[in-house]
């Protein structure tokens, strides 16, 4: 079992039900695909969505996504900062 912790304003823990002990991060064909996966995960997983919204930087959001096997750059997240979660959050200061 693996644990991924994300701390910003809160702690997010995710446990994997199957081995391996670490999440295999697969590079995605392009940023659009990776962003789609982030949006889909935020829609399906309220805890992930809350942690994404609570992240205080695109880098922390990218680290959180990587804990879930999604390889997305902070720059790609920054460009889509108002469309990642319901309600237009997260929005990081420019």
Q: Are 14 and 68 in contact (CB under 8 A)?
A: yes
What pLDDT sits at residue 30?
Answer: 85
Q: How high is the mean pLDDT in each 10-residue block of the chain (94 residues)?
A: 49 41 56 92 92 90 95 92 72 66
Q: Which among 90, 91, 82, 1 has a CA at the least distance from the CA of 50?
A: 90
The mean pLDDT value of the chain amounts to 75
Which residues sit opposite 7 in a β-bridge? 11
Return phi, psi of residue 23, to 5°.
-75, 130
Helix 31-44 to helix 46-54 angle, to the nearest 10 degrees?
120
Question: Which pLDDT score is estimated for 2?
Answer: 44
């Amino acid at each position: 079992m693996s644990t991924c912790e994300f701390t910003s304003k809160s702690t997010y823990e995710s446990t994997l039900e199957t081995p391996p002990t670490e999440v295999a991060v697969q590079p995605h064909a392009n940023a659009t695909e990776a962003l789609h996966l982030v949006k889909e995960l935020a829609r399906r997983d309220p805890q992930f969505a809350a942690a994404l919204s609570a992240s205080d930087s695109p880098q922390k959001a990218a680290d959180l996504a990587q804990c879930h096997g999604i390889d997305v750059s902070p720059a790609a997240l920054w460009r889509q900062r108002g469309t990642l979660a319901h309600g237009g959050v997260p929005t990081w200061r420019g």
